[in-house]
Amino acid sequence: MARKKESAYETEKYPFPSRLRKLMEVTKTTQRELALAIGVRPQTVSLYVQGQSFPDVNGLAKIANFFYVSADYLIGNSEMPNADMVMQDIHKITGLSAGAICKLQNIFDKNRETAFSDIISLLIEDSNAEYYLAIIAELISYSFDNSGGKIIQVDVDGTDMTISKEKMLKTIFQVNLIDGLPQICEAYKREFAISPAQRKKETEGEE
């Protein structure tokens, strides 16, 4: 399809490029990987994500099949990624966003031989899960500016800056979970996985 005359700044906001970028981000799919899967050049995918070009009917179907979503979702005619009633029910029951459902499905599909789904289930089933979510919700509610829906922060140079709710959540998770997880794992291994003899040897070496 011919390139759009509008600038990429304008066309990238259209439903198709916006949702395509979201799906690629959630599933960690590169432009090269998608191009190979649907039989086009990486440059063509680049135009897709900018909204400067759109696939034909066959191309749209290939992209929809690759991401396990409906064509209606890709072009903005549906808020749910999949027309399957099961997917619709997941959204209605849990309130999870389309991106979250796609992410969970992608994790399961890519890691069927691992315990990822069991780990996610344990995290959700944990008795403290609701408590942790309540803390995050309270933090967001307390921090948000009532008029603009933005979080007010003071930058290092003393100037005010605003960040979105999504960025704040990512920052919370990255600082408190992702960055701290390796240390937690190491502490666990030292406490439970190292044999008593090895622990004694290391302790004596530190003295």
pLDDT digits (tens, 9 = 90+) for 91-142: 778 888 767 777 787 788 777 777 787 888 888 888 888 887 777 777 666 6
Average pLDDT, the chain: 76
Same domain, 53 and 110: yes
* Nearest partner of 102 among 127, 79, 133, 122, judged by Cα: 79
| Co-location of 105 and 181 in the same domain | no
What the block records as the tokens of 175 is 């600082």
Q: Is 1 part of a structural domain of the chain?
A: no
**Structural domain range at position 74:** 8-122
Residue 162 phi, psi (nearest 5): -120, 145
147 pLDDT more than 50: no
| Residue after which a domain boundary falls, among 90, 106, 122 | 122
pLDDT in tens, 155-205: 445 555 566 666 666 666 655 555 566 666 676 666 665 556 666 666 666
Question: Residue 76 domain-assigned?
Answer: yes
State which amino acid sits at residue 19. Answer: R
Q: How many domains does the chain have?
A: 2
* 42 within domain boundaries: yes
**Are 116 and 134 found together in one domain?**
no
**More confident position, 78 or 23:** 23
50-59 pLDDT tens trace: 999 999 999 9
At residue 29, does pLDDT exceed 80?
yes
Q: Identify whether residues 201 and 144 lie together within a single domain.
A: yes
- Is the distance from CB of 144 to CB of 150 less than 8 angstroms? yes
- Give me the residues paired with residue 161 across strands: 153
In terms of pLDDT, which residue wins out, 199 or 61? 61
94 and 22 belong to one structural domain: yes
Predicted local distance difference test score (pLDDT) of residue 59: 95
pLDDT of residue 198: 67
Give me 77's structure tokens: 């005619």
The DSSP line for the chain is -PPPSS-HHHHTTSHHHHHHHHHHHHHT--HHHHHHHHTS-HHHHHHHHHTS----HHHHHHHHHHHT--HHHHTTS-SSS---HHHHHHHHHH---HHHHHHHHHHHHH-TTSSHHHHHHHHHHSTTHHHHHHHHHHHHHHHEETTTTEEEEE-TTS-EEEE-HHHHHHHHHIIIIITTHHHHHHHHIIIIIS-HHHHHHHHHHH-
Find all residues with CB under 8 Å of 190, minimum gap 6, and list them.
Answer: 199
96, 122, 148 — which closes off a domain? 122
Residue 180 pLDDT: 61
CA distances from 31 to 14, 93, 100, 106, 137 (A): 18, 33, 21, 17, 35
Instruction: Indicate left, alpha or beta for 101 from its phi (over 0: left) and psi (-120 to 50: alpha).
Output: alpha
Of 74, 89, 122, the residue that ends a domain is: 122
**CA separation for the pair 86, 92 (Å, rounded):** 10
Residue 111 and residue 138 in one domain: no
Contact in structure between 81 and 73 (CB atoms under 8 Å):
yes
Q: Are residues 64 and 104 both part of a single domain?
A: yes
pLDDT at 45: 96
